[in-house]
Amino acid sequence: MTEPNLTTPGPNDDASGSGSAAHLLVGDTPVARYVLAPDLGVEHGLRPYLHPVRTLAGTVVTDALPADHVWHLGASLAVQDVNGTNLWGGRTYVRDIGYVWRGDHGRIDHLGWEERRPDRLDQRLRWCDPTGAVLLTERRTLTASAVPDHPAAWRLDLASTLTAPTGQDIVLGSPATNGRLGGAGYGGFFWRATAAEPPEVFAGELVGEEAVNGCDRPWVALRGRAPTGAAYTLVFSGLSPGDRWFVRTTMYPGVCVAYAFEQTVTIPAGTSRHGHHRVVVVDGRLDPDAAAGLVARDG
């Protein structure tokens, strides 16, 4: 496999580099802002992210730069340990020591567009270590679409292909694989929600953070109330083989498709890892049967 060209602009690149954000729409309704190059310190785990993400009625359902974890950036794709580089942000968990600040933060850079439409963003990225060396290249597509026969819902799809360099295996890890206990296997596609009080989480008959965290059910729903008082439900699906759900509701509201929940994952040199994650964003409260029906109908 030949390595992707990292310097030649694609057919839809902004050659001036002046654009710092893109937007997704469902019909004429803006539903998400996609920040391409955040103006933040490297300790935040610099990466593209979605915020704010809104329901069709306009309720904001993501949070960014929250005081408890300022490196949580809306909805984003990030891993805390990529061959020893922290691409998540914040402190790094070190075996037998705990969380420490280290100069190990890398960054995920937007390289250019393959396609850019109001409902579809198709981009090229690279994941870099602190020196700028390329760890992974990525092709990512974000799409926003209506849910047929459900006027209060829309769906976000994120498809990602991560490719290792031809001469190096790339190992993905997490605090859990580095020795942290308590089901802290986070890292992957992560959604930091906003909520006026701890939200509810369920996956079929599994209810609550303790039951859902670490499971591999086909879908997980987070049901909460925004600071404005508006109710919302987020229904997540799209685990790849070996992925697990990482969820938090008491410390903070968040759901993650965790790539290395219990064991490290290796992307062999010159090969790719594929993922396709979906979030259905709903105004109002769905019960488990309605959430399951929505996932089944949505395919």
Mean pLDDT confidence for 213-223: 98
pLDDT at 56 over 60: yes
Per-residue pLDDT, 14: 35
Per-residue pLDDT, 298: 59
The per-residue pLDDT for range 254-289, each reduced to its tens digit, is 999 999 999 999 999 999 999 999 999 999 999 999
The per-residue pLDDT for range 79-120, each reduced to its tens digit, is 999 999 999 999 999 999 999 999 999 999 999 999 999 999
Q: 21-298 has which CATH code? A: 2.70.98
Mean pLDDT confidence for 204-219: 97
pLDDT at 15 over 70: no
pLDDT at 153 over 70: yes
Radius of gyration, CA atoms only, the chain: 18
Query: Residue 121's CB: how many other CB atoms inside 10 A?
Result: 25
pLDDT at 201 over 50: yes
Per-residue pLDDT, 186: 97
Round the average pLDDT of the chain to a whole number and report it. Answer: 92
pLDDT at 297 over 50: yes
Count Cα atoms within 13 angstroms, Cβ side, for 175. Answer: 19
pLDDT at 75 over 70: yes
Per-residue pLDDT, 282: 98
pLDDT at 47 over 90: yes
Tokens of 90: 């914040």
Of the candidates 281, 297, 293, the residue with the CA atom closest to the CA atom of residue 29: 281
278 vs 149, residue with greater confidence: 278
Tell the residue number behind the tokens 């990602």, with chain if given.
160
Per-residue pLDDT, 10: 37
pLDDT at 167 over 80: yes
Per-residue pLDDT, 1: 28
Query: Residue 156's CB: how many other CB atoms inside 10 A?
Result: 23
